[in-house]
Amino acid sequence: MTEENKEFINAYIFMTYENMIKTLENRRLKLLDPEKCNDPFELTPASPTISEDGDTSFDSNYLRKENGFLSFTKTYNPPSMWAHYADNHKGCCVHFRFPALPEQNSCERNLGVPEFPIYTYRKLLVEHEGKSLFPITQETINHTIITQETTNHTILWDVLYLEKRLGLNEISSVYNKFGNQEEFAIDPVFITKDKSWEYEQEQRIIIPKPFPTEAENNLIFVGGFNEYIKSVMLGMHCPHSEEATQSIINALTLGEKNGSNITYKDRLTYDDQINVSRVKPTSNTFEVISDEHEELLKLFKKNEK
């Protein structure tokens, strides 16, 4: 696949209002630590195989210690997500619109384990500032001088919801290229959860924890994603108004600070700002909706054709 196949996908993160402001102010996202998540089974495979002499196949604890992830969801409508991750409807939902290649299915031959389930993923046309599971280094020759360029691939994986945990394969990630075709493979342990979490419709980006991600107060952050934020939706019970929030967000994202004063950059238009709206209950379902956001999605789709 090449960039000629580029399309755009919507992804969402629920958070408190305060964390949304910090996200925009600091231009970074918090990397989720598997050891601190609300699901104790994150990146935890089934028990390793134990041989007759008592040896285990290998230690899998490094998965949780060495890797974090960004967690997105495919939709903003379920009220359960607002309750669990957006401060009981007092927070907000941040909308990202990523350029991406079309969805791909995994190939069993990549991992060589037929019983592993098929999963889906997309390559995002985004380079984040953190380390990647797929840092591909290429050499180019220019007048006998060899230079190396590392491409930091960003892969968005659909989470699998299963009834049983899987064992860990010794190959955690694999990259293959055949002409213009690229394939990325990952051990399903990175992207599997119990079926009880299926309502989350999660997609995730796996990012190793070490430098150059940012660390602060025992938290790890990664930059490079904020430019794809297109809108923010406030919860039904959010105490902050759309107008005040729009003003704050514009100052953080469109303004240039000079001492205590903020001036706006030149040649800005309405399309440059992050749109702010509020969700409300739908008329006949157990979901919430933002009419303004739905109109924005239609406008994006129309302009990107």
Per-residue model confidence as pLDDT tens digits over 201-240? 999 999 998 766 788 888 999 999 999 999 999 999 999 9
Q: Is the CA virtual torsion 38, 115, 173, 54 positive or negative?
A: positive
Distance from the first to the final alpha carbon of the chain: 19
| DSSP string over the chain | --GGG-EEEEEEEEE-HHHHHHHHHHT-EEPBPGGGSSSTTTT-PSPPPB-TTS-BS---THHHHHEEEEEEES-S--HHHHHHHTTTTTSEEEEEEEEEPPPEE--HHHHT-TTSPP-EEEEES---SS--S-EEEEEEEETTEEEEEEEE-EEEEEPEEESSPPPPPS--EEEEEETTEEEEEE-GGGGEEEGGGGGG-EEEEEEESSTTSEEETTEEEE-S-GGGEEEEEE-TT-SS-HHHHHHHHHHHHHEEEETTEEEEPTT--GGGSPEEEE-EE-SSSS-EE-HHHHHHHHHHHHHT-
pLDDT category, 156, cuts 50, 70, 90? Answer: very high
Q: How confident is the model at residue 133 (pLDDT cuts 50, 70, 90)?
A: confident
- pLDDT surpasses 80 at 184: yes
Does residue 100 or residue 153 have the better pLDDT?
100
Tell me, what DSSP letter sits at residue 262? Answer: E
Q: Tell me what percent of the residues of the chain surpass a pLDDT of 90.
A: 59
Cβ distance 46 to 16 under 8 Å?
no
Q: What is the 3-state secondary structure (H, E, C) of 132-167?
A: CCCEEEEEEEECCEEEEEEEECEEEEECEEECCCCC
pLDDT value at residue 104: 93
Which tokens go with 41? Answer: 């089974």
What's the pLDDT band for 290 if we cut at 50, 70, 90? very high
The mean pLDDT value of the chain amounts to 86
Query: What is the per-residue pLDDT across 22-63, written as a single tens digit (0 to 9) for each?
Result: 999 999 999 999 999 999 999 988 876 555 555 555 566 788
Which amino acid, residue 278? R
At residue 270, the pLDDT reads 62
**Residue 191 pLDDT exceeds 80:** yes
Who wins on pLDDT, 115 or 181?
181
CA distance 34 to 68: 6
- Band (161; pLDDT cuts 50, 70, 90): very high
C-alpha–C-alpha distance, residues 204 and 160, integer Å: 11
Residue 110 has pLDDT above 50, yes or no: no
Condensed to tens digits (0 to 9), the pLDDT of residues 138-148 reads: 555 555 555 55
Q: d(Cα 41, Cα 165) in Å, to the nearest integer? A: 9
213: its two tokens: 């991600």
Supply the pLDDT for residue 256.
74
Q: How is residue 50 annotated by DSSP?
A: B
Q: What is the pLDDT of residue 177?
A: 82
Q: What is the pLDDT of residues 111-120, one digit of tens each?
A: 455 567 889 9
Q: Which amino acid is at 208?
A: P
Mean pLDDT computed over 269-286: 90
In terms of pLDDT, which residue wins out, 32 or 168?
32
Instruction: Give strand pairing partners of 165.
Output: none
Cα dist from 217 to 149, 162, 211, 214, 220, whole Å = 33, 34, 15, 10, 8
